[in-house]
């Protein structure tokens, strides 16, 4: 069976998608095209490059170590300094460490540019704050006078995963004007529409995997300071946008995976907690696939 695959954003919770990939591998399901946002774009890029679920799982210590190192850079600085840094740099961390790490992992599979991948096999979404528009990569590299085929996959992931205020925006030039690019989740946290736009998936089913909170109750967020205000603003935009636009027919293609409430930048997960997220993804996907296979047999 061949499918097109969509991963939502979700910060550290995207570890769950490793379990999804594991279940797909066990069922012998091949992936033709992948679309993702933010952390979903990161997992999607590794998968598109040829990494297996086991290999991605083995990378988790490196990824979490990278996050820990970033957190430690400013732990001893006073709060006012952090805000001063955000004011001037527009983000607490540069994101360069993440991009360099991903560049190395992709190069190990012979991937640097989108031209190193099958054409159209990987797409991701970012948000251009300067232009006030959604950016689909690599296609929209043309908007910045760049050749989409020669656009860096790692840089595209960094653009898609640049969580506002946590990471500095990625700066792209269009002529003489600088554009600031941030996390794709600001405008579309679940870009299933990217694979539906040109109708190319009519002969290949699309399966989407979207993370959702295990707490179904409506709850008010506590907003006691500017940090919590920004966090609430971003989460509201991220969660509400795609939910209103998912049609009933699309929802039939989507597995909503319940995961614990975690901050997108939570870097202190234990090995046990990470493996628990992976198992949630694997178990839910196995059940989902068994249901789809059974339904398909009934139709035949």
d(CA 30, CA 1): 6
Dig out the tokens for 293 from the structure: 């296979």
Active-site residue, from 127, 183, 188, 242: 183
Dig out the tokens for 159 from the structure: 């653009």
d(CA 145, CA 149): 12
Instruction: Indicate if 38 belongs to the active site.
Output: yes
Q: Do 125 and 159 form a contact (C-beta atoms < 8 A)?
A: no
d(CA 157, CA 104): 13
Q: Annotate 215-230 with b (16+ C-beta within 10 A) or e (fewer).
A: eeeeeeeeeeeeeeee
d(CA 51, CA 17): 13
d(CA 272, CA 155): 31
Beta bridge partners of 174: 177
CB atoms under 10 Å from CB of 141, counted, come to 21
Dig out the tokens for 107 from the structure: 């190069």
H or E segment to which residue 16 belongs:
helix 16-26
d(CA 291, CA 296): 9
Active-site residue, from 4, 8, 38, 140: 38
Instruction: Indicate if 183 belongs to the active site.
Output: yes
CB atoms under 10 Å from CB of 174, counted, come to 14
Dig out the tokens for 222 from the structure: 């506590």
DSSP type of residue 203: T
Give the catalytic positions in this structure.
38, 183
């Amino acid at each position: 069976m061949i499918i097109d695959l969509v991963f939502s954003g979700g910060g550290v919770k995207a570890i769950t998608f490793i379990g999804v990939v594991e279940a797909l591998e066990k069922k012998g399901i091949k992936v033709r095209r992948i679309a993702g946002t933010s952390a979903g774009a990161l997992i999607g890029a590794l998968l598109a490059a040829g990494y297996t679920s086991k290999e991605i799982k083995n990378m988790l210590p490196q990824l979490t170590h990278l996050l820990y190192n970033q957190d430690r850079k400013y732990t001893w600085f006073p709060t006012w300094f952090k805000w001063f840094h955000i004011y001037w740099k527009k983000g607490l961390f540069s994101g360069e460490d993440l991009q360099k790490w991903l560049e190395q992992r992709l190069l190990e599979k012979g991937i640097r540019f989108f031209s190193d991948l099958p054409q159209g096999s990987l797409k991701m979404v970012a948000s251009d704050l300067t232009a006030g528009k959604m950016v689909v990569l690599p296609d929209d590299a043309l908007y910045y006078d760049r050749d989409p085929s020669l656009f860096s996959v790692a840089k595209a992931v960094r653009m898609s995963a640049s969580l506002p205020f946590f990471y500095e925006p990625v700066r792209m030039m269009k002529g003489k004007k600088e554009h600031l690019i941030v996390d794709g989740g600001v405008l579309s946290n679940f870009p299933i529409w990217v694979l539906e736009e040109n109708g190319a998936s009519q002969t290949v089913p699309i399966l989407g995997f979207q993370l959702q909170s295990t707490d179904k109750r409506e709850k008010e967020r506590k907003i006691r300071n500017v940090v919590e205000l920004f966090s609430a603003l971003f989460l509201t935009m991220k969660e509400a946008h795609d939910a209103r636009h998912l049609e009933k027919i699309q929802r039939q293609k989507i597995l909503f995976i319940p995961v614990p409430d975690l901050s997108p930048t939570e870097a202190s997960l234990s090995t046990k907690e990470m493996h628990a997220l992976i198992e949630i993804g694997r178990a839910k996907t196995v059940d989902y696939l068994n249901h789809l296979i059974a339904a398909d047999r009934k139709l035949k």
